[in-house]
Chain A
Amino acid sequence: MTIGLLIAVTMTLIVASTPILIAALGELVVERAGVLNLGVEGMMLIGAVTGFITMFTTGNPWLAVLVAAIAGLLSSLIFGFLTLSLSANQTATGLALTIFGTGFSALAGQSYSAMPVSLFRSVFPAELTTHPYLRVLFGYSPLVYFSLIMVFVVWWFLKRTRGGLILRAVGENDLSAHSIGYPVRAIRYGAIAFGGAMAGIAGACFPLLLTPSGPKA
């Protein structure tokens, strides 16, 4: 009985932390490039609403995640354009993006409120996903596994690749990076776009993972 409860709590925690984990991984890369984007929440909301609408109209969760990622990426480019190309204040621009995302999601999602959507089917066979104990390992949506894989990917990129080294160098001292000849602005655009896509995916987790029906048991 206690084991069952423990498993239920663990699974709820893991599922609930997934969107935050994905968004944080994206923003981690942005901050390592020396940029603070306070618009994460706005981009997540934009991802959530576009993901939801795609899911509702097509029924394809993979497509929904893709659309959410693209929507998050595009909205992050507003931030990138203002702060990098027009050197606007990062704090205020990020805040504007959050306000924008809040308004956009409320507007776009208005006609879809309280609509049900189908969820991801599990990638594992039913014996594993419904097993009283093993479901703690196998009983999640693919997004949960994606988030865990991305933890490793982001770590590997930052610590083990030349691209990650350059990104960290840009974040640490942009003037030095520029004078050695690295395209600081382009690298930051890339980091911001990645952060936006991750925030979009994180947003898509809400309808696909955390709708009132909850994750499949």
Chain B
Amino acid sequence: MPFRLEKRPAPSRLMLYATPFGALALTMIAGALVFSLIGYDGIAAVQQIFITPLTSTFRWQDLAVKASPLIIIGVGLAVAYRANVWNIGAEGQYIVGGLTGTWVALATHGMTGIWILPAMVLAGMAGGMAYAAIPAFFKTRFNVNEILTSLMLTYASVQLVYYVVRGPWKDPMGMGFPQTRVFSEAARIPNMIPGTIVHWGVPVALLVALVVWFVMSRSVFGYRIKVVGAAPKAARYAGFSTNATIWLALLVSGGLAGLAGVLEVAGPFQRMVPGFPTNYGFTAIIVAFLARLHPIGVIFAAIVLAVTFVGGDLAQTTTGLPSAASGIFQAMLLFFLLAGDILVRYRIRRISSQPAAEVRAAAEAQP
């Protein structure tokens, strides 16, 4: 091999922020190639999936609505991952947040009052936090891997949705459909721009990202999260408790996922349906990684992923590309991004004159 990897003395900031763009470009190129090879018009597919949603102004409202939950959840996950707390169950916390919000909406059905929506939002966040508290408890108390507990709890929450919409919360007037009744006016998030589907959840998402960015970059709380993630022993030395930080990280990410859940159920859905789990919680993991765990980066990364969703739907109608294609593009994006990570800590060096010892070592390695 004429090249080798050499560890950099310090991580490269340039590579840290350049690799997401490189990964995006590679995904488009590889996607065009792969889909051409299997018999689709690859270039048209890439154009439909990545470009059209951005060029057609009519699609921007779709982007905004799809990106908002990704931003809210992604920002929370960015905080947790900074602390080295691997909350993989944001989908579950999003679902439970939606459910607790629904509970308030159903309990107040027919009532009016501006307090109903705030109450739902609080209930949603509390639900997400409570659901994230389960992995936090097991992690801090029994050192159980939070990746597995949070992931498995997601499956439990999906079953919970199926149960309530078929059982206790089923709409009595729903002609047997497994869904709750439509929320009252007071429990629905109003549209922000008339004539579009853009609701007040969109500015909330942007606000959340800005607030978290400020907190993470300026406050002792953000500093504490970063120290615990980067060097747990140094965190203890600095007087930051690891267990308390695990709790904080899971509560923040769970609370924000719950917020996204309640905003979705009270906004676009307006009722709880079995189709409520839409994998936003998992897609937000890609968002957080693509954003390099930076809250402002999450806004842009969420838009990129929203583009692939909207574009995937477009490509399905125009080029006959199956909707599964957007999943493949998302996976490729994450693969390329993760592969590119190595350039942050290592650089590629050309080996000009290979030392004799290494040649022999290489020769002996294959007896």
Instruction: List residues of A whose CB falls within 8 A of some B CB.
Output: 36, 38, 78, 82, 86-89, 91-93, 95-97, 99-100, 102-107, 110
A86-B339, A106-B322 as given contacts; A36 in contact with B334, CB under 8 Å:
no
Closest to B329 in A: A103
Is A78 touching B335 in the complex (CB atoms < 8 A)? Answer: yes
Instruction: List residues of B whose CB falls within 8 A of some A CB.
Output: 86, 88, 147, 151, 282, 285-286, 289, 322-332, 334-335, 338-339, 341-342
Could you say which of A38, A93, A100, A102 contacts B88, with CB atoms under 8 Å apart? A38
How far, in whole Å, are A10 and B324 apart by their CA atoms in the complex? 36
Is A95 touching B334 in the complex (CB atoms < 8 A)? Answer: yes
- Say how far B174's CB is from chain A's closest CB, in angstroms: 28
Is A99 touching B324 in the complex (CB atoms < 8 A)? Answer: no
Which residues of chain A are near B335, meaning CB under 8 Å? 78, 82, 93, 96, 100
A106-B322, A106-B324 as given contacts; A95 in contact with B341, CB under 8 Å:
no
How far, in whole Å, are A89 and B324 apart by their CA atoms in the complex? 25
A106-B324, A107-B324 as given contacts; A88 in contact with B86, CB under 8 Å:
no
Which residues of chain A are near B151, meaning CB under 8 Å? 38
How far, in whole Å, are A93 and B86 apart by their CA atoms in the complex? 13
Is A99 touching B334 in the complex (CB atoms < 8 A)? Answer: yes
How far, in whole Å, are A91 and B325 apart by their CA atoms in the complex? 22
- Say how far B4's CB is from chain A's closest CB, in angstroms: 13
Is B327 touching A100 in the complex (CB atoms < 8 A)? Answer: yes
- Say how far A37's CB is from chain B's closest CB, in angstroms: 11
Is A92 touching B327 in the complex (CB atoms < 8 A)? Answer: no
Closest to B327 in A: A103
Could you say which of A89, A91, A95, A103 contacts B328, with CB atoms under 8 Å apart? A103
How far, in whole Å, are A96 and B331 apart by their CA atoms in the complex? 5
Which residues of chain B are near A91, meaning CB under 8 Å? 86, 88, 147
7 A-B pairs closest in CB distance? A103-B327, A106-B324, A100-B331, A88-B338, A103-B328, A96-B334, A99-B331
How far, in whole Å, are A82 and B338 apart by their CA atoms in the complex? 7
Is B342 touching A88 in the complex (CB atoms < 8 A)? Answer: yes
A38-B151, A91-B88 as given contacts; A99 in contact with B282, CB under 8 Å:
yes
Is B328 touching A100 in the complex (CB atoms < 8 A)? Answer: yes
A38-B88, A92-B289 as given contacts; A102 in contact with B338, CB under 8 Å:
no
How far, in whole Å, are A103 and B338 apart by their CA atoms in the complex? 19
Which residues of chain B are near A103, meaning CB under 8 Å? 324-331
Is B331 touching A97 in the complex (CB atoms < 8 A)? Answer: yes
How far, in whole Å, are A100 and B332 apart by their CA atoms in the complex? 7
Among A36, A93, A97, A107, the one with the most B-chain Cβ atoms within 10 Å of its Cβ is A107
Which residues of chain A are near B338, meaning CB under 8 Å? 82, 86, 88-89, 92-93, 96
Which residues of chain B are near A107, meaning CB under 8 Å? 322, 324-325, 328
How far, in whole Å, are A103 and B88 apart by their CA atoms in the complex? 19
Is A82 touching B339 in the complex (CB atoms < 8 A)? Answer: yes
